[in-house]
Structure 1
């Protein structure tokens, strides 16, 4: 068991199996991971959060031990709308009609779409080390393309990136962790083994579809919301790694203010992987934002 105070389950929702762990007590808090990881990314902070909240940490569709549904020519099965619906239905099946949400990396992008599509369900949203997808694509320049080359590599036609990554998945994972992280010891040996275990050919393909969707259907949906003047109804916390690219490249708070009238945020002393590189600071930031509750002794 990854988390001491948690139970592991798999549930069928929205036509796909979703793997998740649940533990703790108090208001519900959903944790969503990013690429190329799984819900294991929360292993350093989940037990502490569970003293304040009922924590659900799930694997997004296409990642971890969740299912890999077939895609289509529009990449809609891996749109953030469809990935978000999985999580809404999962939480509802657990009896949570409203909940808090914290998402790192891809999980933050899914959370953004969920908060737009379900304004009465997502009570507060925390996004970890991301600027809005729309901003990042629409302002792309050489600096962005160099640092985030994978955004343009993964969206190439199937099976170009799949074949190249699949030739040596462990090499690719380790290079990515080294590129984005700033503490080589933060991602433990056990964590690397878990991420590699789940980095199957099916996951490699599904994760590429995730990025293909972001460059197509997700941008289209964002544009429709922008044209309609739609904003997030919930408060937003944006936290980022001070040693990572996003905080250096973007005015993160100002970019999120384009999507919400209630935004707070700050940097943490780490690279991209906040829950693993700065677990104490990340835990405090999330507990402080998702108040009012104090940790149990």
Structure 2
């Protein structure tokens, strides 16, 4: 899937991050979502690598990156800690400034990175999310029905871990099918094999629960402290027209509450834009990053 990309493992102050890298040009960091890995970009990353130096990283707790201990108040899975990993990774690769594209959880990490390290991120693209604080603080019956996993995964360990661990492949496939366009055909067999391999690891299941526990706790405190501050770099918001985010929120208006320079539009897909509509997603990202 990513044969031209070179694999690496880099140690940060809090984790060991697995990544792959290819291409030449301005550096572009791409971050995946739940319950996937960097492989989710395999349909568009090779094309982007024709014009950019593309770095695809597994977030801490996911894929082949390390799974640190939880930390006080789940801090080690806060978006601040995850963002710090990626800034250190980019520094080790020699990049002081770079673009960031994030999907789902990766977009939440990217949002935090752009607040904590504003001088480093020159453009930000977020795929199929509204800001975490907005989503949790406005949650209603419809939200809780569609995004029930947010409330399931934050339950104390090891309740969700045991339930997911009983049939991890079934759980993973059910999540991908429910959030997508209701067709598993968009996920290639090779990508699915990687998702299943990584998500079948009990330490990955626990770490990804910790990601959500942090989101419902310490991440909200960090967001509240930063309410007076907005993302200053150009921000592109893309969302699936068949998904929940665009149905529930005025995505551009919501992001304009948190950023000063917002553009974006829907993509003809469900939640998994890069795999369901790779051509349209690639074109939108390239146009933004090259503009």
Q: What's the TM-score bracket when you normalise by the shorter of the two chains?
A: over 0.9
Aligned residue number for residue 10 of structure 2: 11
Aligned residue number for residue 103 of structure 2: 104
Q: Considering only aligned residues, what root-mean-square deviation do their CA atoms show, in Å?
A: 0.7
State how many pairs are aligned. Answer: 289
Moved segments of 4+, more than 6 Å: none
Displacement after TM superposition at 1:192 (Å): 1.1
Q: Aligned runs of 1:113-152 on 2, under 5 Å?
A: 113-152=112-151
- Partner Cα separation in structure 2 for residue 14 and residue 253 of structure 1: 35
Instruction: Please give the per-residue CA displacement for 1:221-276, whole angstroms capped at 9, x wherever unaligned.
Output: 100111xx111111100000000111111100011001111000100000000110
Q: Aligned runs of 1:42-81 on 2, under 5 Å?
A: 42-81=41-80
Unmatched tracts of structure 1, length 5 or more: 293-297
| Alignment TM-score, normalising by the size of structure 2 | 0.98
Q: In the alignment, is the contact (CA less than 8 A) between 1:29 and 1:56 conserved in 2?
A: yes
- Partner Cα separation in structure 1 for residue 162 and residue 243 of structure 2: 28
Aligned residue number for residue 285 of structure 2: 286
Aligned residue number for residue 37 of structure 1: 36
Aligned residue number for residue 184 of structure 1: 184
SS of 2:68 mapped into structure 1: coil
Displacement after TM superposition at 1:188 (Å): 1.3
Aligned residue number for residue 205 of structure 2: 204
Displacement after TM superposition at 1:4 (Å): 2.7
- Partner Cα separation in structure 2 for residue 278 and residue 14 of structure 1: 36
SS of 2:130 mapped into structure 1: coil
- Partner Cα separation in structure 2 for residue 259 and residue 15 of structure 1: 28
Unmatched tracts of structure 2, length 5 or more: none
SS of 2:17 mapped into structure 1: strand
Instruction: Please give the per-residue CA displacement for 1:69-102, whole angstroms capped at 9, x wherever unaligned.
Output: 0012400000000000000000000000000000
Q: In the alignment, is the contact (CA less than 8 A) between 1:4 and 1:47 conserved in 2?
A: no
